[in-house]
Amino acid sequence: MKSHNSKYKTGIITAIVIVLVLLIIRFPIGMSTGGDTPHQFELAGQEVRTEPRQESVDFLTRYNNALVDLAEVSKPTVVMVAIERTVAERSPRSLFEEFFRDHPFFRERQPEERERQQRGLGSGVIVSEDGYILTNHHVIAQAETITITLIDEEELPATVVGSDPRTDVAVLKIDAENLPHMPLGDSEELRVGEKVLAIGSPLGPALAHSVTKGIVSQKGRTDLHILGAQGYENFIQTDAAINLGNSGGPLVNMRGELVGINTAIASRGGGFQGIGFSIPSNMARDVMESIIEKGRVVRGFIGISFQPVDERLAQALDLPEARGVVVADIAEDSPAEEAGIQIEDVILEFDGQAVESGHEFRRKVAERAPGTEVVLTVFRDGDEIEVSVILDELPTEELAALDEDTARDILGFSVIELTRELAERLGVPSGVDGVVVEEVDPDSEAADNGLRQGDVILSLNRMPVSSLSEFEEAVSNLQPGEVLLLQILRRGNQFFIAFELQTT
């Protein structure tokens, strides 16, 4: 009986505890059970504010107004650059002719050629009140007519004062006076993380004078192969949005100065992905002044062939660490020969600055004026010595254009114009420009790396190729042994193919 009463009391106590717990959960201690008093939101020990501090508002407003003012001052100096040129395109073979193309009759039959007008659009920036304009070489290459559109939509014809494919800088001139113009800043003073604006006409005239903001992501980008093996690369990297049509437009610092010419983007799909590249204003200024004053780009010349030092070369040359460039050959009667530079010398420093790469060394030599004396720190026979060299002028010999047979031997394939009819047969979307691979040598590097007949080549070494003439101009500067990068469109898919050019 006593045990039964104990169990009964325990059950009652348990029930009471459960009821109390439920009441505490439903009505927490300190909270009113009535519905008349609203909840009071409080942060322990902190003042609850419903609007930002006035000093914060004032600062952000001033910063915002400063950006707006900077854009308003900069936009009138930016122009649209429209070009026209005539391109020849070959009529494609019919399916019947294609099938029997190895028959002597069809092999000897030359496809008919016809001409069509091709248009392009880029950007530029006015840098003098009397109408000098900086833009990219690739914007105006092979242009027959160039039209500049000012911010007030006035259109003016432009002439090419000079153009330099090795830096991708072009100088234009319009007949005008008292123009708004952008002062050139010192790109060497740019710091990584510094805010910049990019202005241009991305994707067409409807988006002219678009302004984007970002930062300088990095400086001194080389070895990107944007300008090819003969180019001088020293790009400013930025995350300010840059798209097709922005080429040639300005990169502007917070003082309203031109610090770069927007040139290229790194993108897998052709659109902005946060990585853009600009030519430093100091490089653009040097090219422009040389073109205007001397009618050509004058560069320094030292007269050596060289290659970067890797770990194996460092070991073979008894160099303590892999750095600098090793001299592989010396031109006869060159500044290097006169200064006593020797084959197997390792150049460690150029005027007191470490030589980080071969591209950087080439650029530094080219940027110095002929007649300039430079001091090279050289590693030779286990010792570091200093050698003074007086630079000469880089010869301006033009590379001869490759004839069709030689080009095919080096490339390993031939191309034809992408006509409307051929685009329909290959399923190429409208608005896509390029050239079509006609034949591929089965024993070539191109074939080994996957290039096929019918592939559409969109770009060559990151430079757009929109016509047969553009392709021929691009390959005219190629040399055996160079690495060729092709952007390919095949059955709606874009991808890259890279291979080494064959020796003839």
Residue 103 annotated in active site? no
Residue 39 annotated in active site? no
244, 189 in Cβ contact below 8 A? no
Map residue 171 onto helix, strand or coil. strand
Spell 208-246 as b/e; 16+ CB within 10 A means b. bbbbbbbebbebebbeebbbbeebbbbbbbbbbbbbbbb
For residue 56, how many C-alpha atoms fall within 13 Å in the half-sphere facing its CB? Answer: 3
Catalytic residue among 123, 217, 247, 290: 247
DSSP letter for each residue of 223-260? ---SS-TT----EEEE-S---TT-TTPEEE-TTS-EEE
SS3 for 183-233 is CECCHHHCCCCCEEEEEECCCCHHHCCEEEEEEEEEEEECCCCCCCCCCCC
Catalytic residue among 74, 137, 164, 168: 168
Residue 181 annotated in active site? no
In angstroms, the CA 155 to CA 81 distance is 10
Cα distance between the two ends of the chain:
114
Map residue 299 onto helix, strand or coil. coil
Tokens describing residue 216: 């300088």
For residue 54, how many C-alpha atoms fall within 13 Å in the half-sphere facing its CB? Answer: 0
For residue 123, how many C-alpha atoms fall within 13 Å in the half-sphere facing its CB? Answer: 34
239, 274 in Cβ contact below 8 A? yes
Name residues whose C-beta falls within 8 Å of residue 63's C-beta, 6 or more positions apart in sequence: none
48: number of Cβ within 10 Å:
8
Nearest CA-CA partner of 358 in 316, 323, 399: 323
Catalytic residue among 137, 138, 181, 359: 138
331: number of Cβ within 10 Å:
15
Map residue 458 onto helix, strand or coil. strand
Cα distances from 241 to residues 136, 186, 199, 205, 275, in angstroms, run 18, 22, 9, 17, 8
Map residue 57 onto helix, strand or coil. helix
Helices 468-475 + 404-411 axis angle, to 10: 70
197, 210 in Cβ contact below 8 A? no
Nearest CA-CA partner of 480 in 456, 499, 496: 499
Active site residues: 138, 168, 247
